[in-house]
Chains A and B, each alone.
Chain A
């Protein structure tokens, strides 16, 4: 079984130790003079670079941020409360609207948690399809992130270049489930439908083509002196800071911590494919960029491996008729399947009593779902532990002592989407 080896290449020597990083951060904060009057500006909720309706009221000393008061909730939709009035199946489409950039990963996190609660098996083919879906999400999320991140520094063309290539991933999704953004493709016990004819070939072609494009991006970005000047050594957020503020995902891995739930707590088919956890050691904006760039290459690798190893079999569990949907094709032919479909739709699944927490690695960090069940087909309480919420709460620590121009880049580099944070 591949996948459990440590990082194949020896990690490069960090350019700065965590202590040195903390010292640099402390010095950068000292630039703020004590006895000056501050300008207060409201970044957001309609600021072009807060990537949604996030608001940060910042006090500026000249160009340097002194205080930050983050404010979230402008996109609050009461998703967790809605979960308490919907059956487990019916809540799944709402998870699309959390992180709408990578909605299948959200579906997946929720489905994994419910499956753990019900203790049902996912067929091997479905696990592979889910792995492919997760990595497609990671690819499209990171492509969008990259474009927007570079645009935060003022280069507007790069944004559209990234969008152009994100289309390939979007087309794959469209072919797979009909939707481009809000997929709702996972189901409890599997996925909604099997891979359509010709999808595997199309996906393989796209994944073999994508690394060439990624190399082109690297040339465009990493050889740009202005970009390097704006990112290297900027926005240092140490491992201790990350742990203290629960910043996860690429930002954590950019501090040299090899924490990736795909490796440490494998789910879906991640223990059956070979991939490396992307790690960088400098904890600055540039390291976060490098981590995501590496992850995109790894995603292509994982998807290609999954396509090669794709097993035959069911795409949704057929052994638990009181908890999962039947195959859609059977519904109109088989009366038992029809009854099962009807019962699942209108009454919901049978769920044991208990509580469960399950986290998976979504593109933006660790996404956990906590469910308390009282034995009915509706959750008694459902809590979503979303990465962006924690990234937003860390903004004062990220911003203070930095220049207003850098704040935009730093905020972009931790990667947020407000649907995820406000729920």
Chain B
């Protein structure tokens, strides 16, 4: 029974972190955009405008829940949730600290599920998230939304392959599919982290994750200048808000996964810094990647659709396979 209660507490905490970060990420994004564009960003709501996201949320919730007459109602309604439920599930795979910690006399593993096929599970859940944009765009019964959905589907499916192959290098090195064991394999300081031996895989994974997240320069699915709002064209009010919310939750999860696989997860860069809890290390690494995503978004123009596909299939896929082959060769020889 205690185990069950501990599990529930951990789940609630994980979801609270993933959800609770989102309003502040939106605030950061707007503030960073302001800095990059030599303007202020939000300033009125709360100190430095930090409560802006809550005001936005209140506005979105008070709007009418509009379903277009020509839309496929049930699918249209459920599509936004499909985008972010897999993200929450992925979050349960990420370890936030060491196993068997003594908290108030209870032995607690600081991970919701130490799942032996964790990486596979993460990739599978990532594939499920594709259904959100695709179904939403299809059910909207709008040509712009349809184009956005098609782009999104093709893009996410093609980049998943490079992404998956980029992780395999790490899996070969760590000899496990479990996120907890991957973090343990990186123990002992930042020179043991996988981003050094797997630099190619790290770069491929990071770029592919931008494509997975539908962010600039790969945000073709909602390319504002081309497709109005892509698959979100017909969405308004809180359903649109949930789509946006889902994208930010996905960003949190993706940055957590990159940190865990390539940057040692909750481990400190030097062993003497272990006094600082692992949780703080993980979150700071996540924030680093989230900042990178934002920086890239507000700097670069967007690729064209076929150029994006070219990069995915003609550059990243061969590169990921070569990286895997070289890694496997070195591992088997050494």
Say if the beta carbon of A179 comes within 8 Å of chain B.
no
Question: Which residue in A39, A41, A154 is a CB contact (below 8 Å) of B225?
Answer: A154
Give the distance to chain B from A289, nearest Cβ to Cβ, in Å: 13
Say if the beta carbon of B304 comes within 8 Å of chain A.
yes
Give the distance to chain A from B235, nearest Cβ to Cβ, in Å: 16
Q: Which residues of chain A have C-beta atoms less than 8 A from B305's C-beta? A: 63, 403, 405
- Whether the Cβ atoms of A153 and B301 lie closer than 8 Å is yes
| A49 nearest CB neighbor, chain B only | B225
Binds B, one of A156-164, A250-258, A301-309, A354-362: A156-164
Binds A, one of B33-41, B76-84, B123-131: B33-41
Say if the beta carbon of A244 comes within 8 Å of chain B.
no
- Whether the Cβ atoms of A404 and B226 lie closer than 8 Å is yes
If A154-B225, A405-B223 touch, whether A41 touches B37 (CB-CB below 8 Å) is no
Say if the beta carbon of A224 comes within 8 Å of chain B.
yes
Say if the beta carbon of A313 comes within 8 Å of chain B.
no
Could you give, for residues 383-421 of chain A, a 1 whenever the CB lies within 8 Å of some chain B CB and a 0 otherwise?
000000000000000000001111110000000000000
Say if the beta carbon of A155 comes within 8 Å of chain B.
yes
- Whether the Cβ atoms of A152 and B39 lie closer than 8 Å is no
In the assembly, what is the distance between CA of A408 and CA of B38, in Å?
26
| B144 nearest CB neighbor, chain A only | A41
Give the distance to chain B from A395, nearest Cβ to Cβ, in Å: 16
- Whether the Cβ atoms of A226 and B143 lie closer than 8 Å is no
Say if the beta carbon of A372 comes within 8 Å of chain B.
no
- Whether the Cβ atoms of A157 and B299 lie closer than 8 Å is yes
- Whether the Cβ atoms of B147 and A160 lie closer than 8 Å is no
If A157-B299, A224-B300, A226-B217 touch, whether A48 touches B37 (CB-CB below 8 Å) is no
- Whether the Cβ atoms of A63 and B306 lie closer than 8 Å is yes
Q: Which residues of chain B have C-beta atoms less than 8 A from A39's C-beta? A: 143, 146-147
- Whether the Cβ atoms of A404 and B147 lie closer than 8 Å is yes
Say if the beta carbon of A217 comes within 8 Å of chain B.
no
Say if the beta carbon of B298 comes within 8 Å of chain A.
yes
Q: Which residues of chain B have C-beta atoms less than 8 A from A226's C-beta? A: 217, 300-303
If A154-B217, A160-B39, A408-B226 touch, whether A40 touches B143 (CB-CB below 8 Å) is yes
- Whether the Cβ atoms of A155 and B226 lie closer than 8 Å is no
In the assembly, what is the distance between CA of A150 and CA of B299, in Å?
11
Give the distance to chain A from B144, nearest Cβ to Cβ, in Å: 6
In the assembly, what is the distance between CA of A229 and CA of B315, in Å?
16
Counting chain A CB atoms within 10 Å of each CB, the highest count among B38, B217, B219, B225 belongs to B225
Give the distance to chain A from B203, nearest Cβ to Cβ, in Å: 16
Interface residues of A in 141-182 (CB under 8 A from B): 150-157, 160-161, 164
- Whether the Cβ atoms of B225 and A48 lie closer than 8 Å is yes
Give the distance to chain A from B137, nearest Cβ to Cβ, in Å: 13
Say if the beta carbon of B307 comes within 8 Å of chain A.
yes
- Whether the Cβ atoms of B306 and A154 lie closer than 8 Å is no
| B146 nearest CB neighbor, chain A only | A39
If A154-B217, A160-B39, A161-B37 touch, whether A405 touches B301 (CB-CB below 8 Å) is no
| A151 nearest CB neighbor, chain B only | B225
Give the distance to chain A from B151, nearest Cβ to Cβ, in Å: 8
- Whether the Cβ atoms of B38 and A405 lie closer than 8 Å is no
Give the distance to chain A from B309, nearest Cβ to Cβ, in Å: 11
Could you give, for residues 300-320 of chain B, a 1 whenever the CB lies within 8 Å of some chain A CB and a 0 otherwise?
111111110000000000000
| A148 nearest CB neighbor, chain B only | B225
Q: Which residues of chain A have C-beta atoms less than 8 A from B299's C-beta? A: 155, 157
- Whether the Cβ atoms of A157 and B228 lie closer than 8 Å is no
- Whether the Cβ atoms of B302 and A153 lie closer than 8 Å is yes
Counting chain A CB atoms within 10 Å of each CB, the highest count among B33, B143, B224, B226 belongs to B226
Say if the beta carbon of A116 comes within 8 Å of chain B.
no
Give the distance to chain A from B155, nearest Cβ to Cβ, in Å: 13
- Whether the Cβ atoms of B223 and A154 lie closer than 8 Å is yes
Q: Which residues of chain A have C-beta atoms less than 8 A from B306's C-beta? A: 63, 403
Q: Which residues of chain B have C-beta atoms less than 8 A from A164's C-beta? A: 38
- Whether the Cβ atoms of B304 and A155 lie closer than 8 Å is no
- Whether the Cβ atoms of A224 and B225 lie closer than 8 Å is no
Q: Which residues of chain B have C-beta atoms less than 8 A from A229's C-beta? A: 303-304, 307
Say if the beta carbon of A77 comes within 8 Å of chain B.
no
| B302 nearest CB neighbor, chain A only | A154
- Whether the Cβ atoms of A156 and B226 lie closer than 8 Å is no
Say if the beta carbon of B216 comes within 8 Å of chain A.
yes
| B36 nearest CB neighbor, chain A only | A157
Say if the beta carbon of A227 comes within 8 Å of chain B.
yes
Give the distance to chain B from A209, nearest Cβ to Cβ, in Å: 16
| A405 nearest CB neighbor, chain B only | B304
If A41-B143, A154-B301, A403-B304 touch, whether A47 touches B219 (CB-CB below 8 Å) is no
Interface residues of A in 217-246 (CB under 8 A from B): 224, 226-227, 229-230
- Whether the Cβ atoms of B225 and A230 lie closer than 8 Å is no
Give the distance to chain B from A150, nearest Cβ to Cβ, in Å: 7
In the assembly, what is the distance between CA of A63 and CA of B150, in Å?
10
In the assembly, what is the distance between CA of A152 and CA of B224, in Å?
9
| A154 nearest CB neighbor, chain B only | B302
Top 3 nearest A-B pairs by Cβ distance? A154-B302, A153-B301, A155-B301
Q: A154-B223, A155-B302, A156-B37 are in contact. List 4 more A-B contacts (CB 8 A).
A: A160-B38, A229-B304, A404-B147, A404-B227
